[in-house]
Amino acid sequence: MTFPKQVTLVEVSPRDGLQNEKAIVPTAVKIELINRLADTGLTVIEATSFVSAKRIPQLADASAVWQGIKKRPTVRYPVLIPNLAGLENALAVGVKEIAVFTTPSEQFSQKNTHCSVTESLQRIEKVTQLAKQHGLPIRGYVSCVLGCPYEGEIAAEKVATLSKTLMALGCDEISLGDTIGVGTPNKTQQLIECVAAQVPIKKLAVHFHDTYGQALANIYVALLCGVSVIDSAAGGLGGCPYAVGASGNVATEDVLYMLNGMGIETGVDMQKLLGVVAFIARELGKAPVSRVYRALQ
Amino acid sequence: MTFPKQVTLVEVSPRDGLQNEKAIVPTAVKIELINRLADTGLTVIEATSFVSAKRIPQLADASAVWQGIKKRPTVRYPVLIPNLAGLENALAVGVKEIAVFTTPSEQFSQKNTHCSVTESLQRIEKVTQLAKQHGLPIRGYVSCVLGCPYEGEIAAEKVATLSKTLMALGCDEISLGDTIGVGTPNKTQQLIECVAAQVPIKKLAVHFHDTYGQALANIYVALLCGVSVIDSAAGGLGGCPYAVGASGNVATEDVLYMLNGMGIETGVDMQKLLGVVAFIARELGKAPVSRVYRALQ
């Protein structure tokens, strides 16, 4: 069996991790979190989302966070963009890379973004057109790829078609999100193989939530399929406020432990990462849920 | 990729799960736990250990537990046997199946059983000889197969040689134990392939602790290698009192969720199993650590 020699970890804790926290995290803490994450060797850190402050008050400080972080030349700091207004705000502060999102589930789309899947693609097209004019790389998130809290099973072909459409709209990478964590290894393999028939495997990332403890087994399968970009969140922070049963993202330190054991390079320092987990846990007043943190702290 | 169509789950919570609990669990609770586990569809439940009461006071009631459980004809109730005296006590109450244990790590052997590996094999030989005279099936546990808290890395060849020796001494099955949970998928694969060159794969079981969250990924790999017997503990109970950093066994419900998702039959009912987890958690006054329990309770 062959695996990628190197994996890029896309750290999503500052955005996907924090957006679910009820108590507003001070902007300075968010900035320090991102700077500390960059110190660990992570090369891609999703910094925030330029979403309506009314929709997600936690991320109302997107511009201030973006402007406050110390930009390392070797680190990419993408931000999530829900619509054209968000992109305009992001461009105004000099954002260099963005992400957009949609889902194959009509019901999830309605609950999460109050529009149909087709309408979400129309929104995305406006965003990608302007982003491309500014030369920004674009990541496309596809949510609920292995199951939807409202619709149940999702056909892999729908995910593949949607992923291809996102690429046609200008996305450079597709992140396949198991938003509610219901995926298991064989279904993960079938999904990735189905999507990889439409989108080159090198353009695919995986984004697992560890709701049922399946994330690492699924990531192992994704590696077997040739995927070399993995989303994760330090301390297993996060979840989706609009998805019932969506507990935290897979913890970066749990993924890193597996990749280290497999001899796959990431450039990330475990001890420094555990230090960041301790920092954000202190700030949030919560004990980290990851097994690796609890074993190694 | 092919997988076993059916997997036997060996439930170890009554022994490996409870032996680490400081407060003595009443005998009646242990009996009820085992009877409830049998109600879920589990077909192998390690009931107790006939160990010295001085060494592990929690298991001083081994005879009473064994005699108290309602024996279903379709369920096997093996017990752990450390020495000849333990086997004699087990035979006195009519035990039908036993397990013995050793390790390739000299230092772990000394700390865990106060004897060398060679001496432990001499003890085991006395036990297996008498057990065979009584026609008892024997399982051999090999501890620390993917790492030792005192010696660090353990060569797969040592595990393979020891497993072969245990088979020669009369064991019918070998359970490979990652006692401190440090295993990762590729090392697991290498280990199983190395051992399977000496012992038929159908005679191998895997026993993972989820200390670093790697258990399900490793179990997936074991399934890929053709292993069809998996040890686990309801609620992720347990650990090893003599191994630093050895947190709980992989949770039966987490394993079951993966196997169900892969279409692999076990005969175990998830809802009934979660009921047992709730029962023992209440009795121990502890919240279960498994992701599946927290998501589905």
Q: pLDDT, tens digit, for every residue of B133-165?
A: 999 999 999 999 999 999 999 999 999 999 999
The pLDDT score that the predictor gives to residue B239 is 63
Which B positions 66-95 lie with beta carbon below 8 A of chain A?
none
> Helix A106-113 and helix A117-133: axis angle, to 10°?
60
| Minimum CA–CA partner of B244 in chain A | A295
User: How much is the ipTM here?
Assistant: 0.94
Q: Given pLDDT bands bounded at 50, 70 and 90, which one contains residue B184?
A: very high
pLDDT in tens, B244-275: 444 789 999 999 999 999 999 999 999 999 99
All residues of chain B having their beta carbon less than 8 Å from the beta carbon of residue A294 are: 247
Q: Does B178 lie at the interface with A, CB-CB under 8 angstroms?
A: no
Q: Which amino acid is at B26?
A: P
Instruction: Give dist(CA B172, CA B204) in Å, integer.
Output: 9
Burial B108-147 (b: 16+ CB within 10 A, else e): bbbbbbebebeebbebbbebbebbeeeebbbbbbbbbbbb
The catalytic residue positions of A are 240
Q: Say yes or no to pLDDT of B288 above 90.
A: no
Task: Quote the pLDDT of residue A129.
Answer: 98
Which chain A residues contact residue B1 at CB under 8 A? 189
> Taking the model in full, what pTM does it have?
0.95
Q: How is chain B classified by DSSP, letter by letter?
A: ----SB-EEEE-IIIIITTT-SSPPPHHHHHHHHHHHHHTT--EE--EE---TTT-GGGTTHHHHHHHS---TT-B--EE--SHHHHHHHHHTT---EEEEE-S-HHHHHHHHSS-HHHHHHHHHHHHHHHHHTT--EEEEE--TT-BTTTB---HHHHHHHHHHHHHTT-SEEEEEETT----HHHHHHHHHHHHTTS-GGGEEEEEB-TTS-HHHHHHHHHHTT--EEEEBGGG----TTSTT--PBPBHHHHHHHHHHTT-B----HHHHHHHHHHHHHHHT-----HHHHHH-
> Nearest chain B Cα to A251, which residue?
B213
Instruction: State the CB neighbour count (10 A cutoff) for residue B202.
Output: 12
B181 contacts chain A (CB < 8 A): yes
Q: Encoding tokens for residue A38?
A: 């960059």
In one letter, which amino acid is B28?
A: A
The full DSSP string for A104-170 is S-HHHHHHHHSS-HHHHHHHHHHHHHHHHHTT--EEEEE--TT-BTTTB---HHHHHHHHHHHHHTT
CB-CB: which of B211, B217, B295 is closest to A216? B217
Q: Cα(first)–Cα(last) distance of chain B, in Å?
A: 33
The answer to whether the Cβ–Cβ distance between A213 and B187 falls below 8 Å is no
Least CB–CB distance from B262: residue in A1, A185, A210: A185
From the CA of A133, how many Å to the nearest CA of chain B? 43
pLDDT per position as a tens digit, A59-97: 999 999 999 999 999 999 999 999 999 999 999 999 999
Name the stretches of chain A with pLDDT < 50. Answer: 241, 244-246
Nearest C-alpha of chain B: how many angstroms from A118? Answer: 31
Number of C-beta neighbours around residue B184 at 10 A: 24
Q: How confident is the model at residue B289 (pLDDT cuts 50, 70, 90)?
A: confident
Task: Report the pLDDT value the prediction gives residue A290, as an integer from 0 to 100.
Answer: 86
Smallest CA-to-CA distance from A171 within A48, A55, A66, A78 is with A78
Nearest Cα residue in chain B from A293 = B212
Contact B18, B49 (CB under 8 A): no
- Top residue of A291, A293, A296, A297 to mutate, by most chain B CBs within 10 Å, is A291
Chain B residues within an 8 Å CB radius of A183 = 261
**Whether pLDDT at B243 is above 70:** no
Mean pLDDT of B56-79: 97
Task: Tell whether A185 is within 8 A of chain B (Cβ).
Answer: yes
Examine the residue annotation and report whether B240 is marked as an active-site residue of this protein: yes
Identify each DSSP E strand in chain A by its residue range.
8-11, 44-45, 48-49, 79-80, 98-102, 138-142, 173-178, 204-208, 229-232
Cβ B239 vs Cβ B246: under 8 Å: yes
Q: What is the pLDDT of residue B266?
A: 98
pLDDT greater than 80 at residue B132 = yes
pLDDT at A75: 98
What count of CB pairs under 8 Å joins A to B? 98
